[in-house]
Amino acid sequence: MIDESSFPSTLLKSLQHLDVSSNPLKCTCEAHWFLMFLKSTCITIDHFSTSMQCDLPESKRGQPLLSMDPRSCQDIYGHQSFLCTFLIVMFITVLPVLHKLYGWDFWYLSHICLAAVRRGYAQMSTVSREEYDAFIAFDSQHSMVADWVYNEMVPQLEEKGRR
């Protein structure tokens, strides 16, 4: 098998003639550099297009070395690309679904955790605790409710000194 270590750089600089015909060649991506070297060099190569034939892999046995497609070796990162793309697509798909189904749960949980980190709830500085007993919201258009609030509840609270 011919690999990059078969030709040290000092040998390649002084090499003028190369004959590797009738040698079984392994036509895989590891030998891609050798094909590129043969195509780009000024060295005299005997039987370049006829006697340099692939022996391995089995599917390329007997084919000329020049028939090796250099683009077939460019898919080095195929598995990593697939995995990254798959994870990104899953993230983009699952995140909105989780937000739709459990958005309020996440919001509530984040506030519970924030309260635990702060060691309880923070007191609001703008509201004094003794100023009011309660905040009452009612429909003033409904006469029976308005009558009860104004005539029963408010006088009883104000008698106790509260507002």
Angle at 26 between CA 21 and CA 27, to 5 degrees: 100
Q: What is the mean pLDDT of the chain?
A: 79
Tokens read off for 53? 């034939």
| Count of beta carbons in the 10 Å neighbourhood of residue 99 | 11
Rounded distance, CA 147 to CA 101, Å? 44
Q: For residue 149, what are the contacts with CB-CB under 8 A and spacing of at least 6?
A: 136, 138
Any bridge partners for residue 17, and if so which? 44
Q: Among positive and negative, which fits the CA dihedral 36, 37, 41, 43?
A: negative
Rounded distance, CA 23 to CA 52, Å? 7
pTM above 0.75, yes or no: no
| Chain segment 76-132, per-residue pLDDT in tens | 677 888 999 999 999 999 999 999 999 999 999 998 898 888 876 666 666 565 666
Asked whether the beta carbons of 60 and 54 are under 8 A apart, the reply is yes
Q: Among positive and negative, which fits the CA dihedral 121, 125, 130, 135?
A: negative
Per-residue confidence (pLDDT) for residue 88, from 0 to 100: 97
Rounded distance, CA 45 to CA 47, Å? 7
Any bridge partners for residue 45, and if so which? 18
Total H helices, total E strands in the chain: 5, 4
| Chain segment 4-18, per-residue pLDDT in tens | 677 777 777 777 777
Of all residues in the chain, the percent with pLDDT exceeding 70 is 79
